[in-house]
Homo-oligomer: A and B are copies of this chain.
Amino acid sequence: MNISSETIRQRFKDQGLKNTPQRTAIYKALVETTSHPTAEDLYQHVSQDYPMISQNTVYYTLGVLQQAGLLREVNVGHDRARYDGNLTPHHHLICHGCKSIVDVMDKKLNKISCPSGLPSGFHITDYQIEFRGYCQACRPQTA
């Protein structure tokens, strides 16, 4: 999905973030992919346009954007962090083999009722379902 510089500028402004070319490029790259890239992936991608960019900037920017609520982290194992710029509520499908992450946009999954037997005083803010399995390419031979 494409996103205009104007939209990005506005979102940054709304969150009180300064608008720099590097930050814009990182955010744009993240929003326009569904691959749930790592910091390294984003660094590689943005480096094409900004060869002087440092990894630090990528990490710092991702931290700032996360704090501003403009992205989410997605976890696959305890590996390197992966990022998602899609803020529409959705879930994920993760391939055990290649660790790819696919969005699951099925809306009926957003209506799960609060589980029973919670510790008293615990307040749930949100939830996420992680489906796991094998994509076509990684499917075991026996399947």
Contact = CB atoms under 8 A, between A and B. Distances in A.
Interface stretch (A2-10, A25-33, A42-50, A77-85): A77-85
Interface in A62-100: 73, 75-82, 91, 93, 95-96
B136 A119 contact: yes
Interface residues of A, number: 44
A115 interface: yes
A118 interface: yes
A131 interface: yes
A117 B128 contact: no
Interface of A: 73, 75-82, 91, 93, 95-96, 102, 104-106, 108-109, 112, 115-136, 139, 143
